[in-house]
């Protein structure tokens, strides 16, 4: 699965929903459709997410070598 993530982390956006978001701490968790739970930092969001929001996520690798959301956006958001 790690190879799949690294192969697909370039530009693919995975659908999911926000499970947790702690604005004060600046981080949260997204659950992808396949059940994986991926952490994210608030500065990687294009808007202020709320728990339960559907999102699209670009998955990359954290400095610890684990999957992490590098971009979190609304499903209907236009790509730049």
Q: Could you give the CA distance from residue 62 to residue 64 in angstroms, rounded to a whole number?
A: 5
Going along the chain from its start, the domains and CATH numbers come out as 2-73 (2.40.50.140)
Determine how many CB atoms are found less than 10 A away from the CB of residue 48.
9
Tell me, what's the pLDDT at 79?
67
Tell me, what's the pLDDT at 47?
94
Q: Could you give the CA distance from residue 22 to residue 29 in angstroms, rounded to a whole number?
A: 9
Q: Which two tokens stand for residue 31?
A: 């659950």
Q: What is the pLDDT of residues 1-32, one digit of tens each?
A: 444 444 445 578 999 999 999 988 999 999 99
pTM over 0.85: no
Q: Give me the chain's average pLDDT, please.
A: 87
CB 69 within 8 A of CB 40: yes
Q: What is the pLDDT of residues 53-80, one digit of tens each?
A: 999 999 999 899 999 999 999 998 876 5
């Amino acid at each position: 699965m790690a190879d799949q993530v690294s192969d697909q982390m370039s530009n693919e956006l995975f659908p999911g929903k926000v499970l947790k978001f702690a604005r004060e701490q600046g981080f949260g968790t997204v659950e992808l459709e396949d059940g994986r739970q991926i952490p994210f930092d608030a500065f990687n969001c294009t808007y202020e997410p709320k728990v339960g929001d559907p999102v699209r996520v670009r998955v990359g690798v954290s400095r610890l070598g684990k999957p992490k959301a590098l971009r979190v956006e609304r499903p209907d958001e236009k790509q730049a």
